[in-house]
Amino acid sequence: MAPQPLSQILPTLNYWLVDHPQIHNFTWSPGQTFASTPQFVAAAVLTYLFLTLLLRRLPLPLLPPPLLKPLTAAHSLVLFLLSAVMSAGTILSIFSPNSPPPRLRRAVCFPPNTAPSGPLFFWAQIFYLSKYLEFGDTLLIILSKSNQRLTFLHVYHHATVVVMCYLWLSTAQSLFPVALVTNATVHVVMYWYYFCTALGSRPRWKRLVTDFQIVQFVFSFCISGLMLYYHFAAGGCSGMWGWCFNAVFNASLLALFVDFHGKSYAAAAKKRKAAAAEKIGSGGGGGDKVLDKSQ
């Protein structure tokens, strides 16, 4: 069976990811849409932090690898697929023929008083809810007893990103479509890596995951310059105070990721150099002994 050409696939994707009535007619309604109140967000984040601290200190039994690995693989595969669909759905929503022009500008700057409705906000809602699913990352780390991976960066990121995504919706924040596509794309790479490691494979491109995350934050600051131009020189943009929270959060994450990158890979490089030096030293010692013996 010959593969379908892209011209036949795109209309189908557009229907299921953009024009389907549940997506096209979506509206974020505080107090009515699931998880749409600040009380819900606060309770969820505080519960996550409390359980993380509690479970880390409890003498939980180590989950055996035959059980832990399939759970990790399933969790990673679900988030890999979900991230791919969210990225594709948002891209198609940006360039949809039904999207009001100018399409690229709207991806960066919503007009003031934009209502949180339509396909872009549907995918923002799915992305927001996926952040609660990502709390499972922390649970799997705790169950594996890998406490060295349960860093401040990990917990801070998982807790605060929920607030950030909530503000995307509650403030109809400009620029979130670009942020959603870049972050979901990074997560496609990241969760595929986790899926591979859970199956026993160790991809050699682990460092690329952190590199992509750093590039993502730098790109977000660059594109923010364009959004600020639209806001101050071209009529204003929606959700600016939500963007301010997003910008501070991204700046803090960039600093933490750069620090993590430096410490992790500098330490690894140092270990490799030390191992190489030890190997060379051992070879030199053997030569000296041979020389001494011959004398």
Between 165 and 288, residue with greater pLDDT: 165
- Please check whether residue 264 lies inside any domain of the structure: yes
- Please check whether residue 190 lies inside any domain of the structure: yes
pLDDT above 80 for 245: yes
- Please check whether residue 3 lies inside any domain of the structure: no
Rounded to whole angstroms, the Cα distance separating 175 from 244 reads 11
Q: What is the pLDDT of residue 273?
A: 64
Q: What is the mean pLDDT of the chain?
A: 89
- Please check whether residue 1 lies inside any domain of the structure: no
- Please check whether residue 80 lies inside any domain of the structure: yes
Q: What is the pLDDT of residue 272?
A: 64
Task: Report which of 183, 257, 191, 192 is spatially closest to residue 220, judged by C-alpha positions.
Answer: 183
- Please check whether residue 2 lies inside any domain of the structure: no
As for how many domains the chain has, the answer is 1
- Please check whether residue 113 lies inside any domain of the structure: yes
pLDDT level of residue 207 (50, 70, 90 thresholds): confident
In this structure, what are the phi and psi dihedrals at residue 27, rounded to the nearest 5 degrees?
Answer: -140, 130
Mean pLDDT of 127-143: 97
- Please check whether residue 5 lies inside any domain of the structure: no
Domain extent, residue 110, equals 10-294
Lowest mean pLDDT segment, chosen from 89-98, 224-233, 286-295: 286-295
Task: Report which of 107, 122, 109 is spatially closest to residue 19, judged by C-alpha positions.
Answer: 122
Tens of pLDDT, residues 213-233: 889 988 999 999 999 999 999
Q: What is the pLDDT of residue 103?
A: 86
Q: What is the pLDDT of residue 238?
A: 97
Q: What is the pLDDT of residue 80?
A: 98
